[in-house]
Homo-oligomer: A and B are copies of this chain.
Amino acid sequence: MTKQPYALAIHGGAGTILKSTMTPEKEAAYEEALRHAVAAGETVLQAGGSALDAVTASVCALEDEPLFNAGRGAVFTTAGKQEMDAAIMDGRNRDTGTVAGIFGPKNPVKLARLVMETTPHVCMIGEHVLELGRAAGLEFPDADYFFTQARWDALQDTLAMREKGEDDDDPARRHGTVGAVACDRMGNVAAATSTGGWTGKLPGRVGDTPMPGAGNFADNATCAVSGTGHGEIFIRWTAGAEIAARMRHLGETVVEAAEHVVMKDLKDNDGSGGVIAVDARGNLALPFNSEGMYRGWVREGDQPKVAIYRD
């Protein structure tokens, strides 16, 4: 049944990841967490599993890790609440499910998948979709499971700066999304993304993650994409859909198309961040226009790699 080698890439957010504030211990912890998330997805692909299951597994691993801004480590709104967005998309038929502004399930990406698989809708918000998740047996931990002191402190810093009339334009606080893209041995691609959004976002803000074609996209005809960065700009420049459009209409490779959108469309319009992308041949692209992007990737037969800064 093997048609081709599988490939997988993950990210744990992009932004101003300064070497000066990074300790060797912190760096090792991030790298270990990235390796773990790559392994979670690769285990699925190695066993002949689908790209859809692989990206679900990798994103769950990233959501469970408090170092990253999704699931357990989600950031706080100005109201001191956590509101999460998540998405999953299947390249075989562009089927997709997303959730926005939710708090409750341990793994928001599983709730997005439930929307895709059990409702006639793409995107859901509010109490009803949480009820669907509970009824389907998704895990809903105690609320304090999601609390992390570092995220809370980051909110206090942001609010203190705003109090003084300073603009908190530190991209590190605007960023932080996790995601995975994969191509399985059958040549099917999938993408999944999950995030807590911005530190100090307004309550009810919905980002690019739950908008297919902005922060998450998958179509076998072109590629699967997961983005991380200044979400509002990813939406306005329809980042994911545009990478696919350049491949379809201009004949660009996934590397060329992803580079163009990240280094030109987004960068020229204050859209700091990056994407991970894979095409249906397993070609990977991981461009970012910020100082760093937590990332990892593997192609069948190769050793998995993880990285934070530019090479």
| Chain A interface (Cβ < 8 Å from any Cβ of B) | 79, 94-96, 100-101, 119-129, 201-207, 210-214, 231-232, 235-238, 241-242, 245-246, 249-250
Beta-carbon contact of A235 and B123 below 8 Å: yes
Between A and B, 18 residue pairs with Cβ closer than 8 Å are A95-B236, A96-B236, A100-B123, A121-B206, A122-B206, A122-B231, A123-B205, A124-B204, A127-B204, A128-B204, A212-B238, A213-B213, A213-B238, A238-B238, A241-B241, A241-B242, A245-B245, A249-B249
Beta-carbon contact of A125 and B122 below 8 Å: no
Nearest-Cβ distance from residue A302 to partner chain B, whole angstroms: 33
> Does more than half of chain A's interface fall in helix, strand or loop, or is it mixed?
mixed
Expressed in whole angstroms, the Cα–Cα distance for A210 and B206 within the complex equals: 10
A94 contacts which chain B residues (CB < 8 A)?
Answer: 236-237
Nearest-Cβ distance from residue A122 to partner chain B, whole angstroms: 5
A120 contacts which chain B residues (CB < 8 A)?
Answer: 202, 232
Nearest-Cβ distance from residue A206 to partner chain B, whole angstroms: 4
Closest 7 CB pairs of A and B: A126-B204, A249-B249, A245-B245, A213-B238, A123-B206, A128-B203, A238-B241
A95 contacts which chain B residues (CB < 8 A)?
Answer: 236
Beta-carbon contact of B101 and A125 below 8 Å: yes
Most chain B CB atoms below 10 A, which of A203, A213, A231:
A213
Given A100-B125, A249-B249, list of 10 further CB < 8 A pairs? A79-B128, A100-B206, A120-B232, A122-B206, A123-B207, A124-B205, A127-B204, A211-B213, A213-B213, A241-B241
A125 contacts which chain B residues (CB < 8 A)?
Answer: 100-101, 125-126, 204, 206
Expressed in whole angstroms, the Cα–Cα distance for A100 and B123 within the complex equals: 10
A124 contacts which chain B residues (CB < 8 A)?
Answer: 202, 204-206
Beta-carbon contact of B213 and A122 below 8 Å: no
A235 contacts which chain B residues (CB < 8 A)?
Answer: 96, 122-123, 211-213
Expressed in whole angstroms, the Cα–Cα distance for A232 and B210 within the complex equals: 13
Expressed in whole angstroms, the Cα–Cα distance for A124 and B197 within the complex equals: 12
A241 contacts which chain B residues (CB < 8 A)?
Answer: 213, 238, 241-242, 245
Expressed in whole angstroms, the Cα–Cα distance for A207 and B128 within the complex equals: 16
Other-chain residue from B79, B201, B212 in contact with A236 (beta carbon distance below 8 A): B212
Nearest-Cβ distance from residue A45 to partner chain B, whole angstroms: 24
A236 contacts which chain B residues (CB < 8 A)?
Answer: 94-96, 122, 212
A212 contacts which chain B residues (CB < 8 A)?
Answer: 211, 214, 235-236, 238
Nearest-Cβ distance from residue A197 to partner chain B, whole angstroms: 9
Nearest-Cβ distance from residue A21 to partner chain B, whole angstroms: 25
A203 contacts which chain B residues (CB < 8 A)?
Answer: 126-128
